[in-house]
Structure 1
Amino acid sequence: MEDEMEIQKQYNTRAIMASLLICGFVGFFNETALNIAITNLMDVFHITAATAQWLTTGFLLTLGIIMPVSGLLLQSFSTRQLFIGSLLSLIAGTFIAALSFNFQMLMVARVLQAIGMGMFIPLMFNTILVVYPPDKRGEAMGFVGLVIMFAPATGPTVAGILIEYLSWHYIFWLSLPFLIIGLFVGLKYMENVTDVTKPRIDLLSVVLSTVGFGGVVFGFSKAGEGTSAWSSTVVIASLVIGLAALVLFTIRQLSMRDPMMNLGVFQYPMYIVGLLMVLACMLIMMSSMIILPMYLQNGAKLSVFVTGLMMLPGSVLNGVLSPRMGKLFDRYGPKWLVIPGLVLVAAILWLFTGVTPVSSVVFLIALHIGLMIGISMIWMPAQTNGLNQLPPELYPHGTAVMNTLQQVAGAIGTAVAISILTSGTESYLRSSSAPTDPAELANAITQGSQHVFWFALIITLIGLAVSFLIRRVVVKQPAH
């Protein structure tokens, strides 16, 4: 055990963590900052909403293709090589985006950014699992939680201010120096923390994974454009082809001696419970976080800037609490955080199902803060506990599976939420005597939003039932 601790102390964990958090923050910030500029970009580039949406869909699609291959990349390249490669891709994408003068150029930039993030996110999780001993991982993962929650939340607010006073280009000019600083800190302190095993690359697995995960993410992303989109040939074909490819991919992985994505991670019960908690959180987050701004702008008739500010306190608090929840997890284990967290989220979502166009701003901010506190109690403790159960050789595969399915859950959550919102809104307007009246439109959006919160509540209650199975993992194997 003493030898193990000596190995742990060799790493400059603070410097490694600093470079990972700086780059992670900017990467996640870029992921959402452009969302608020979509309307602005439609005017500047003279493009339709469907075309502009590709700036988000393309990003998610690229992540859905890169993430499944990340386990293979983590074993094929050294930590430093992957870190430098992901940062160069992020920097190149951000620089091209800052200079973009047409849609095509910005689209290329978004794909480069997504390639960088697709390599960086699994690398970040894997590095933390290796350099931190099990009794310190909760707090370390909590800091990652801070970045994952806080950066996307500040994106729309900061972007809103930049667009108002400068231009959308400055979203990327602001990000660039931080990425370069993160790269230099990493160049100085990042160490090779994993063994490069150079596994044989199975091209068929890569193709099946790309078609499978890419098809599913693309299908749900397209379905998210409205209820009528579900019956479109493109969506049905994407989902059918994607699911068929995933079935073949799974069969292929189970029959290989050295699989690209080792599904042996599913032999570990706490990993499965942790994964289900993460996916539940992702579905709740994506459905609530997409619908809430739409409801605030169209139902409560608030401006984009006010909406961004209203959602900031909860997201900031979630970020600030994540490391503290990690510390509590290190001390007490997951059960005393995850179960109360799900009870809190269920109570908040139940209150959200009763919102009306006249609900007070203070009440809505309080609900959002409660929701974000609950999520911070569930996400990182469940995820860290699940990954802790894996032996070190399965860390790359465990993080690859978790991150990939998170992207798929995000795409599903978004698509389902928008469909429920649209159908709820349309059914209200069909029975309305004055469907064009602004007050009735606000009521229709409110009804659609309430239906989405009911959907999120059902997911939460299923998560709560599963959470009673959670047990603290006592790490017996060496952490290195």
Structure 2
Amino acid sequence: MVRLLVLATFVVILNETLMINAIPRLMESLHVSEQAAQWVSTAFMLTMAAVIPITGWFLQRVTTRQGYLIAMSVFMAGTAISAAAPTFTVLLIGRIVQAAGTAVMMPLLMTTLMTVVPEQDRGRVMGNVTLAISVAPAMGPAISGLILQLGSWRLLFVAVLPIAGAVTYFGLRQLTNIGEPKVSTIDWLSAALATVGFGGLVYGLSLFGEGTDHLGPTIGVVVAGAATITFFVLRQLRLQRTGAPLMDLRTLSHRTFALALILMCVAFLAMMGSMILLPLYLQNLRGLTPLETGLLLMPGGLAMGLLGPTVGKVYDRLGSRPLVLPGSIGIVLSLAGFTQISTTMPYWQILALHALLMVSLAATFTPIFTLGMGALPPDMYPHGSSILGTLQQVAAALGTALVVTVMSARASSLVADGVAAGAAQLSGMKIAFVVATVLAAATIVVAVLLPSRASASVGGGVAHH
């Protein structure tokens, strides 16, 4: 059952980064600008950030099977709309529908898993989950590079449809319902605030990624998004005292969960930042094709996936310490290595640094997810996984925005001083990697503070829930 859920989640999450390589094709076939074409990825992240906060409530209201069927049906509908899209607007609508299905799938997987799997086996099972959650985005560009060699960008959706259909069919045959659905009311004001706040924040951050032309309005959108999230938080704190909050912030009072959340956000930020910078560097400055870029970065993604289950087993045996500390140090070292990129850096070095980054992330993600969720009492699982999922999207958008803004600002100022465009862009990328390295250094500090096991932090907390 867990395998099927992991497979379904893999298929759905793969779509988050599947379109990155297809942007030149989209510009050509649908006659849109590069900024507009970027929206096929941005809209996906935006929808995830807006929908995930509502999933905690939604998953408590439906049975496991209903949640699964709804998530996969919505996802397939979005995929079909995208594949047949006659115009760019329709393609965007398809992507938004796809993302809404994906947004339900992740918390569903997490909640089910934490409920079904006994604590001593969680690391092993979570290893397979991390495989889905982290390898899917890493593999997206490589897989799409291969498919795009065969023909149109529409094939990216056509290829996914039958797989998603098969996964849905077999999933429904195997899945059993876990726990009883609870009839709870939803606070629609909270839902609206979450959608506008998290959606607005991710949207504003993605505007930074498009360059610094409209700086005023962009900052305005980010500030408005952040302000709305503040209202959302205050509303939740009030509802915690009286009714049912949409997102239960009491999860954050569990120290281990809060620390794991911080560590995951920073690591995800670093991963997404490097995922944006490396293809730009390899394609714009080194002249590789999308397929060659995908193949060069594929070993790292594969290593990350294959290590997931092993990391999980080590976690079950030894706890998080022996994994998370070396993992966070590895992340910093690999990003520090990328600050030295040049137009002549040997490809094997790039491959090695990328593989180190991916392996270090694998060693970090599995223990963090398992440790963080394990520190919560069972009735908090849906809320914990929806907070985790939402912040993951915000971190991804922030990482992308940060590196692109730093890179563009540095490159523009150098071009203004008369430096050649290529050299200016390279210098911008180096500075962006420096920023990513400095941020990643924070993960080492958090890793030191984390306990080795979840049970130690919950103490007797589980007994009386």
Which category describes the TM-score, using the shorter chain as reference length?
over 0.9
**Alignment counterpart, residue 173 of structure 1, candidates 158, 162, 166:** 158
Relative distance call for 1:479 and 1:81 in structure 2 (3 A) is farther
Alignment-derived partner of residue 69 in structure 2 = 84
- In 2, the alpha carbon distance for the partners of 1:47 and 1:22 equals 34
SS at match of 2:438: helix
Alignment-derived partner of residue 465 in structure 1 = 445
- In 1, the alpha carbon distance for the partners of 2:180 and 2:322 equals 36
Alignment-derived partner of residue 330 in structure 1 = 316
Alignment-derived partner of residue 308 in structure 1 = 294
- In 1, the alpha carbon distance for the partners of 2:193 and 2:79 equals 30
- In 2, the alpha carbon distance for the partners of 1:479 and 1:407 equals 33
Where does 1:208-223 land on structure 2 (aligned, <5 Å)?
A: 208-223=193-208
- In 1, the alpha carbon distance for the partners of 2:336 and 2:464 equals 41
Contact 2:272 2:399 in 1 (8 A): yes
Alignment-derived partner of residue 442 in structure 1 = 422
Contact 1:137 1:330 in 2 (8 A): yes
**Alignment counterpart, residue 390 of structure 2, candidates 404, 422, 440:** 404
SS at match of 1:227: coil
Alignment-derived partner of residue 240 in structure 1 = 223
Once superposed, which parts of structure 1, at least 4 consecutive aligned residues long, lie more than 4 Å away?
A: none
Matched, 1:204 2:169: no
Gaps of 5+ in 1: 1-15
Relative distance call for 1:441 and 1:303 in structure 2 (3 A) is farther
TM-score by length of 2: 0.95
**Alignment counterpart, residue 64 of structure 1, candidates 39, 44, 49:** 49
* Displacement of 1:465: 1.0
Gaps of 5+ in 2: none
Contact 2:71 2:105 in 1 (8 A): yes
Contact 1:300 1:442 in 2 (8 A): no
- In 2, the alpha carbon distance for the partners of 1:180 and 1:467 equals 40
Matched, 1:142 2:122: no
SS at match of 1:199: coil
* 1:145 alignment partner AA: T
SS at match of 1:228: coil
* 1:365 alignment partner AA: L
* Displacement of 1:479: 12
- In 1, the alpha carbon distance for the partners of 2:97 and 2:195 equals 17
Contact 1:23 1:178 in 2 (8 A): no
Residue range with higher mean Cα deviation, 149-158 or 72-81:
149-158
* Displacement of 1:72: 0.6
Alignment-derived partner of residue 5 in structure 1 = none
**Alignment counterpart, residue 275 of structure 1, candidates 261, 274, 293:** 261
Percent identical:
35
* 2:434 alignment partner AA: W
* Displacement of 1:478: 6.9
Where does 1:3-82 land on structure 2 (aligned, <5 Å)?
A: 16-82=1-67
* Displacement of 1:177: 1.3
Q: Deviations over 1:53-87 (max 9, x none)?
A: 22122111111110111111111111111100000
**Alignment counterpart, residue 339 of structure 1, candidates 293, 313, 325:** 325
* Displacement of 1:227: 2.5
* 2:39 alignment partner AA: W
Contact 2:16 2:45 in 1 (8 A): no
Alignment-derived partner of residue 116 in structure 2 = 131
SS at match of 2:19: helix
- In 1, the alpha carbon distance for the partners of 2:124 and 2:316 equals 7
- In 1, the alpha carbon distance for the partners of 2:428 and 2:78 equals 37
- In 1, the alpha carbon distance for the partners of 2:295 and 2:69 equals 35
- In 2, the alpha carbon distance for the partners of 1:138 and 1:157 equals 28
Q: Deviations over 1:75-132 (max 9, x none)?
A: 1111111100000001111122222222122112111101100111111111111111
TM-score by length of 1: 0.92
Relative distance call for 1:351 and 1:204 in structure 2 (3 A) is same
SS at match of 1:232: helix
* 1:244 alignment partner AA: A
Contact 1:212 1:244 in 2 (8 A): yes
Contact 1:286 1:413 in 2 (8 A): yes
Matched, 1:454 2:434: yes
Contact 1:142 1:324 in 2 (8 A): yes
- In 1, the alpha carbon distance for the partners of 2:11 and 2:252 equals 32
Relative distance call for 1:50 and 1:214 in structure 2 (3 A) is same
Alignment-derived partner of residue 251 in structure 1 = 234
How many pairs does the alignment contain?
Answer: 457
Contact 2:30 2:87 in 1 (8 A): yes
* 1:358 alignment partner AA: T
Q: Deviations over 1:398-418 (max 9, x none)?
A: 011111011111111111110
* 2:216 alignment partner AA: S
- In 2, the alpha carbon distance for the partners of 1:364 and 1:407 equals 27
Alignment-derived partner of residue 284 in structure 2 = 298
* 2:72 alignment partner AA: L
